[in-house]
Amino acid sequence: MNTRIYHWLRTGILLGLGVYLLLKIFSGTLYYYINQRFLWLVALGAVAFLILTLVSWRHPLAHEHSHAEHRAEDHNPGSATRANRWNLLILAIPLLLGFLVPSKPLDSSALASRGLTTNALLGAGGQKSGVQLDAPSDQRTILDWIRAFNFASDPSVYSGEQADLIGFVYHDDRLASNQFLVGRFAVSCCVADAFAIGLIVESSDAANWASNKWVHVVGKIQVGSLDGQPFPLILASSIKEVPVPPQPYLFP
């Protein structure tokens, strides 16, 4: 491969990687993959790629090789060409996948392999932090309600409180025909460690709501049961379809 072509291709790929990360940050779709507290690391990576782009553009490949490398290329140009191609391929694959694979958050289809947890006690670092028990009940998230029931010696103290939640619909075989789970995924680090949590919603038209639909559910909290354990149940007074929220995940 001509060294000038290699130089410009490499520069273009580095620029593309930097721009791609910035697009993910400013579009908000970065949070489909990682916890929001790692935003600064991705931003740092984007800046690093842009700096490498500038360095690559200002210093063509012909001036980067040592004399020894030049002699090696003279003796075996085919080997140098193959190495250049592999270098470009390794750089280009993440960029191509990033632009070609649509960005979408995890939904109920991922529950088949990940399952649903009813024991979401701890925050980041293993601390019982971030539990919004002192917040108005209609401002608690699905994660807050699960934690509240796990912490309470008597979950019935929450009976009658108002819940106001957004999540995706999941029809669990363990539930009655007039029930479904309203769920979200909680992410500690990235989607690789994501776990699903949810609350039971009881409504006369529960069967009409298809899995993966995002809904806004309002209703009164009652003590339900899942696998023989006390579990938050919402007697729904209102269920409305909504778009996927800009931040689809919850963060312990």
> Residues 80-92: pLDDT tens digits?
567 677 778 887 8
Residues 126 and 222 in one domain: yes
Domain end marker among 71, 100, 129: 100
For 152-200, write each residue's pLDDT tens digit. 888 899 999 999 999 999 998 888 999 999 999 988 888 778 888 899 9
Domain end marker among 51, 76, 100: 100
Element (H, E) at 8: helix 3-27
Residues 54 and 120 in one domain: no
- Round to whole Å and give the CA distance between 42 and 219: 39
Considering only residues 95 and 109, tell me which one the structure prediction assigns the higher pLDDT. 95
Our count of domains for the chain comes to 2
* 245: nearest Cα among 180, 183, 171: 183
Please give the residue range of the domain that contains residue 191. Answer: 108-250
- Round to whole Å and give the CA distance between 153 and 142: 19
Residues 135 and 183 in one domain: yes
Residues 232 and 151 in one domain: yes
* 146: nearest Cα among 110, 117, 180: 117
Residues 163 and 231 in one domain: yes
Residues 113 and 226 in one domain: yes
- Round to whole Å and give the CA distance between 10 and 16: 10
User: In CATH, what number is assigned to the domain containing residue 153?
Assistant: 2.40.50.140
User: Strands, DSSP E only, in the chain?
Assistant: 162-170, 179-186, 195-202, 214-226, 229-241, 249-250
Which residues, at least 6 apart from 135, have a Cβ–Cβ distance to it below 8 Å?
144
Output the pLDDT for position 6: 76
Mean of pLDDT values over 140-146: 90
Cα radius of gyration rounded to whole Å, the chain: 25
Residues 168 and 185 in one domain: yes
Query: Look-up: residue for tokens 């800009």?
Result: 246
3-class secondary structure, 222: strand
Residues 72 and 115 in one domain: no
Q: Which residue type sits at 88?
A: L
For 228-241, write each residue's pLDDT tens digit. 788 899 999 999 99
Q: Which residue type sits at 73?
A: E
* 180: nearest Cα among 131, 135, 219, 137: 219
Mean of pLDDT values over 100-125: 66
Residues 74 and 115 in one domain: no
pLDDT at 15 over 60: yes
3-class secondary structure, 188: coil
Residues 196 and 214 in one domain: yes
Residues 96 and 127 in one domain: no
Output the pLDDT for position 191: 79
* Range with lowest mean pLDDT among 40-44, 93-97, 200-204: 93-97
Residues 144 and 82 in one domain: no
Give the confidence band of 120 by pLDDT, cuts at 50, 70, 90. low
